[in-house]
Structure 1
Amino acid sequence: MASANDWAHWCTRFDALKDEVLGLHHSRRIWRAVRTMIETNPNVHRSGIAEHWLTQCYSVAQMAGVRRQVDRRADAVSLWRLLDQLAVKPGIATRAWFMQELQARPQSAPYTATLGDVFDTFAGAGKPSVDKDIVRADRDRLSNDAESAKRVVDQSVAHQADATRAGYAGVAIITWGELDTAIDTVGELYKKYYNLRHPGEKLGNLEPDLPAGWDRLFDTAWKYQ
């Protein structure tokens, strides 16, 4: 049976993921800027070893970050587990709570009737609690889009897969497009459920504009002679 404590616990764990989700997008923003520097500056002396190392640092960290969000272990806090828990016990998130939160915030109280329609995104029109089928579809989308990253991390990063075992499926690979899709999906779903967790609020741009001077490190050559 659903209780207020169940929902409070869900909300606490959801909030704990915010920095991790933002970190995925922040890192990608920096990576793309650095790659642009390398690829557009004709004075850069390209090095296979150094570029491979940079690429590995970025890709391994990002794949591991995606993998964290689809962790299904009982002792883990992940976006997949939170969606799964909400799909199993959709009654913990109610329209009554959502409307009460809107009315309690001075910024949203005057617009409660309009903002209250946001709950329909998760429940359907007029329903009192979240629809498990809607949440399950989002959970499965997350699992599907993160699968390539999960397989690479499980087989080659966190562990070394035993190629001699029966049923070995071969070396896991991932494309840049698949990694970007996984990061996008994590971000999109976190933003979506942020609207449920924080009625009347919206999570802004996940991939921020970098502050002036952030790239000062690259103004001079790194190699000292």
Structure 2
Amino acid sequence: MTMAETAALFKVVTVRAVPDGDVYNRDVWVEQTYTVAHPREALQRFAQEFPEVVRLNDAAVPAAWITAWTPGRGPRPEERLMNWERDPDAEVSDGWLSNMAAAVTNLRNQLEWEPRYCTRATVYVPCPGCVQLDGSSTLLTRKLGRYGAYYQCGACGWKTGARTRKARQAHERAYIAGWCGATLYAGVNPSGVPITLCGECDRGYRWPTAGQLYR
């Protein structure tokens, strides 16, 4: 099977922060469509075409929210109504479990109709203490200690707190090594709010799906 036979259509969109005096506006949309074999390839091409959107080093520019999805085909799934939508006299708190199930079912149907993909990037931070002759260096590992997060190098022992000036300087050389691109699925958080989840990045998630909550 060739690349052309396995390729699919993916869209990637984000909101770019642009300066307006002393503030940043997020009303500049950047959207591209790619026909590739996997969503991570679409994300990679998007990052290469718009490096100013997916930048890591400029702390003054707010981070961009990137979304990747496959456009839905056919009619959009019909949404299940909440209790107060079916009965104007009902209280919002009435039938909270069925409302939660309806909300998650709507999200699950939406994701089945228009799949969305995890856009979490794998970010590498080179160690500034052990640069090789070819310019490469060992990667720093981010850890959580007694006094908060810190960076440490397993080769030379270089170490600093995650909020220090040294950490900011090290992060200026950070780069994106790849993108997750896994298919997101529907679930609920502990507060009962429907959310999208990634089976690759959050394998420990154990909260019930709509089918487990309400049948």
Q: TM-score range by the shorter chain?
A: under 0.3
- How high is the TM-score relative to the length of structure 1? 0.22
- How high is the TM-score relative to the length of structure 2? 0.22
Query: Counting helix residues as a fraction of each chain, which structure ranks higher?
Result: 1
Q: Which has the higher contact order (CA 8 A, sep 6+)?
A: 1
Query: Counting strand residues as a fraction of each chain, which structure ranks higher?
Result: 2
